[in-house]
């Protein structure tokens, strides 16, 4: 099941940029920004941001510049953070920064199909579908590959699974390493494609060109003069989709356990 969401992305971009941007520029430290992962950091995985976090982020925006960097596409981030979220952060990076916004306005973007070319992309997709057809899982649903502008998101169980099936797959994967095993097979098969594989969330992993991990967003911030970039994320272990940016020398990395821990660590960083 291959899903291309170009049309949906364009409509969401249009909706987001039509709304007025009203963030204050009178924050204490002009070269400091707090940058956040989404799943497991601002929200419970794939759930909407709760009222406590919304209030906390609103207060934080009066004290520091704030940004979001997630692997998901814009429609999914709108679902989790709200229809106006693009305008509620100074920087809003979707798909690791391949589709990005500054003060509500879109920045330049690129795509994985431009990088690989159609022939190589189809070889990759066909291998993934063939691999998934051969493995047995407790259950499978729909949408096993989701095309995003800067990456492919691959889900062995399928993104159409229910919340309970999602939770059950995460437990199963922790024991059997379904995703990690598949990633190793892809690395071996496509060693010359210059791709990176990053496990994130509960049910999937991302495939994208080398260097297109979450560190892709950092040059945008460096260009605008930010020298103290605090990053908060939960998948900070090697192989997790926050690892590269968490360990990057340009950031101050904070490994969090959940949204409540995020609030506690942000407060500590503000008071340091």
Mean pLDDT by 10 residues, the chain (272 residues): 37 41 74 97 94 96 96 93 96 94 93 96 98 97 94 97 96 97 98 94 94 96 97 94 97 98 98 90
Of 5, 25, 31, 39, which one is the catalytic site residue? 39
pLDDT, residue 25, reads: 75
CA 169 – CA 149 distance, rounded (Å): 26
What is the pLDDT at residue 27? 87
Instruction: Give strand ranges (E) for the chain.
Output: 2-4, 32-36, 65-69, 91-94, 99-102, 105-106, 145-148, 151-154, 195-200, 204-209, 228-233, 251-255
User: Is 37 in the active site?
Assistant: yes
Position 120 scores a pLDDT of: 98
Burial-class residue 61 by CB neighbours within 10 Å (0-12, 13-18, 19+).
middle
Q: Which of 90, 110, 111 is nearest to 101 (CA)?
A: 90
Which residues partner with 197 through β-bridges?
207
Query: Which candidate in 25, 37, 73, 173 is catalytic?
Result: 37
Question: What is the pTM assigned to this prediction?
Answer: 0.78
What CA–CA distance (Å, rounded) separates 163 from 167? 6
């Amino acid at each position: 099941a291959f899903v291309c969401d170009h049309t949906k992305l364009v409509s969401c971009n249009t909706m987001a940029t039509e709304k007025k941007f009203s963030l204050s520029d009178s924050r204490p430290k002009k070269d400091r920004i707090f940058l956040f992962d989404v799943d497991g950091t601002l929200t419970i995985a794939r759930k909407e941001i709760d009222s406590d976090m919304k209030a906390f982020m609103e207060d934080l925006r009066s004290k520091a510049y704030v940004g979001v960097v997630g692997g998901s596409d814009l429609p999914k981030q709108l679902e989790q953070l709200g229809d106006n979220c693009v305008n509620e952060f100074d920087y809003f990076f979707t798909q690791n920064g391949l589709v990005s916004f500054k003060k509500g306005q879109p920045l330049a973007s690129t795509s994985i199909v431009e990088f690989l070319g159609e022939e190589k992309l189809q070889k990759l997709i066909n291998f993934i579908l063939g691999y998934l057809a051969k493995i047995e899982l407790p259950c499978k649903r729909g949408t096993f590959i989701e095309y995003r502008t800067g990456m492919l998101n691959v889900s062995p169980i399928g993104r159409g699974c229910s919340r309970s099936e999602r939770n059950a797959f995460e437990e199963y994967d922790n024991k059997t390493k379904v995703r990690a095993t598949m990633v190793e097979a892809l690395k071996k098969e496509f060693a010359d494609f210059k791709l990176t594989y990053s496990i994130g969330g509960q049910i999937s992993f991302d495939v994208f060109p080398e260097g297109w991990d979450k560190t892709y967003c950092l040059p945008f911030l460096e260009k605008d003069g930010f020298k103290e970039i605090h990053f908060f994320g939960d998948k900070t272990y090697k192989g997790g989709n926050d690892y590269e940016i968490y360990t990057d020398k340009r950031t101050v990395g904070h490994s969090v356990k959940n949204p409540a821990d995020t609030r506690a660590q942000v407060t500590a960083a503000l008071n340091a």
